[in-house]
Structure 1
Amino acid sequence: MKKILSVCAVFFTFLNLSFSQGILTASSFFKSVSENYAAIKDYEADVDIKAGNSFMKGKVSYKNPNLLRIDFSSPEEQVICFNGDLLTIYLPESAAILNQTVDNSNNTGANLATSQGLALLSRYYSPAYETGQNAVPLEEGSEEMVVNLILRRRNMSEAFSTIKLSILQSNMLIRRIEATTPQGETFTFDFRNYVLNKGISDQRFIYDPPTSANNYNNFLFSE
């Protein structure tokens, strides 16, 4: 579970994305995605996360440039919150609070929860169209049409060998992220029911976990 949640923290940092039409190359497409989504002030969306036989469901709140919160309905009461300085994950089943302080010298997934996050992703991964620029069904039988980008790592040190981004044709938002490790593990993030620019308060990203839970600091570097 800790591994899955760490991956969640990494990938939600890549959500300052958007889309524009008329792009001919995958690199230009990816650059435009980054530039346009940065204009979104905030959003909320439903999210489903799958890793192997593990499944999680919740609502994600994001505020530009680097505020993030996920409130889970499954597992119930589980929370991921990043306030710009501190990443906090509350695990109710374990009565545990995982904390990770973020600074410029700390090159972790949480550190990518900034306006520079996608630029870093672009630096370490090379984008390509999966089947071309034209939209295709999200999956067999689906009426949702997406443009698929495949990002391949530039060097062997990156945690994921490929990252697939599926961009909805209808509203130009990310519908699905599929990240695959060199060992063949796949983490899938499905996003639905986006609400953009609703004026989310900074207070939304202040989280006080239960005082009865045990604290574990700098968990990203712990065994």
Structure 2
Amino acid sequence: MKKHFFAAVMAAFCGFAGFSQGITTANEFFKEVSDKYASFKDYSATVDITVDKKDMSATVLYLAPDKMRMDFSEPASQTIVYDGKKLICYLPENTSVLTQESANTNPATAEGLSLLRRYYSVSYEESQAVVPLEDGSDEKVVKLIFWRRTASESFRYLKISVDPNTKLIRRIVAVTPGGTTYQFDFKNYEINQGITEKRFQYDIPSGANSIDNFLYSD
């Protein structure tokens, strides 16, 4: 479950690297939004995460080209930091720190997006029409769906909802082959605030149990 959760987080931020204004094809729409995110120097947003019936909330920070941080309010003190070289995940419920050396993997970047394009095919979920975010919602989005090309990928498919006016990603839903669903809802974007690299420095709490290379080893 933990591996799938952190893979879902990475997929969410890889997805941030791009989507487009869908005038014709889904690939064109994907590229437009991609170009929008590629133009950001930094951003922050709030994100509500649902894993099946478990709810979580966090603030996310991004600094181009490859830094990401999530500070959780629920569960309190949980932290995920990627400084461009190492992924650090602090889990306060069992005082554990999971780390992954990933110098050749840059989530939330153009490289991450290229991996998404390579391993998943994109189409509109139903059509390029603007539709409600969910049943009964007044919020309108364009919905894309990404299907894995091979059975080796972590997710069977991902659905991504994009605001048609701002071209910002509103929701990402990732579903594993076993049927576990991860949903990320992004709100309250603030773009190009002047976030500095200091925000991505993280001191691991003393006494925490450390588990290295928890996603994969060299």
Alpha-carbon spacing, 1:170–1:29, altered in 2? closer, same or farther (3 Å): closer
- What is the alpha-carbon distance in structure 1 between the residues aligned to residue 134 and residue 215 of structure 2? 34
Q: Secondary structure at the match of 1:46?
A: strand
Seq. identity, %: 47
**In the alignment, is residue 210 of structure 1 matched against residue 200 of structure 2?**
no
1:35 is matched with 35
Q: Secondary structure at the match of 2:34?
A: helix
**In the alignment, is residue 179 of structure 1 matched against residue 170 of structure 2?**
no
Which aligned pairs between 1:70-149 and structure 2 lie closer than 5 A?
A: 70-104=70-104, 111-149=106-144
Q: How far is the alpha carbon of 1:65 from its aligned partner?
A: 1.1
State how many pairs are aligned: 216
CA contact (8 A) 1:16 1:64 kept: no
**In the alignment, is residue 155 of structure 1 matched against residue 156 of structure 2?**
no
Taking structure 2 as the reference length, the TM-score comes to 0.92
Q: Secondary structure at the match of 2:179?
A: coil
Large movers: runs of 4+ above 6 Å: none
1:107 is matched with none
CA contact (8 A) 2:21 2:30 kept: no
CA contact (8 A) 1:145 1:170 kept: no
1:9 is matched with 10
Q: How far is the alpha carbon of 1:112 from its aligned partner?
A: 3.5
Q: Which amino acid aligns with 2:61?
A: S
- What is the alpha-carbon distance in structure 1 between the residues aligned to residue 19 and residue 144 of structure 2? 13
Q: How far is the alpha carbon of 1:160 from its aligned partner?
A: 1.0
- What is the alpha-carbon distance in structure 2 between the residues aligned to residue 49 and residue 8 of structure 1? 9
Deviates more, 1:40-49 or 1:25-34: 25-34
Deviations 1:114-146 (A, max 9, x none): 331111101111111112112101011111100
Alpha-carbon spacing, 1:136–1:113, altered in 2? closer, same or farther (3 Å): closer
- What is the alpha-carbon distance in structure 2 between the residues aligned to residue 76 and residue 130 of structure 1? 35
**Alpha-carbon RMSD:** 1.7
Q: Secondary structure at the match of 1:140?
A: coil
Question: Structure 2 unaligned runs (5+)?
Answer: none
Q: Secondary structure at the match of 2:195?
A: coil
Question: Structure 1 unaligned runs (5+)?
Answer: 105-109
Deviations 1:32-64 (A, max 9, x none): 222221011111000011111222101000111
Q: Secondary structure at the match of 2:71?
A: strand
- What is the alpha-carbon distance in structure 1 between the residues aligned to residue 155 and residue 214 of structure 2? 20
Q: Which amino acid aligns with 1:54?
A: K
1:62 is matched with 62
CA contact (8 A) 2:46 2:189 kept: yes
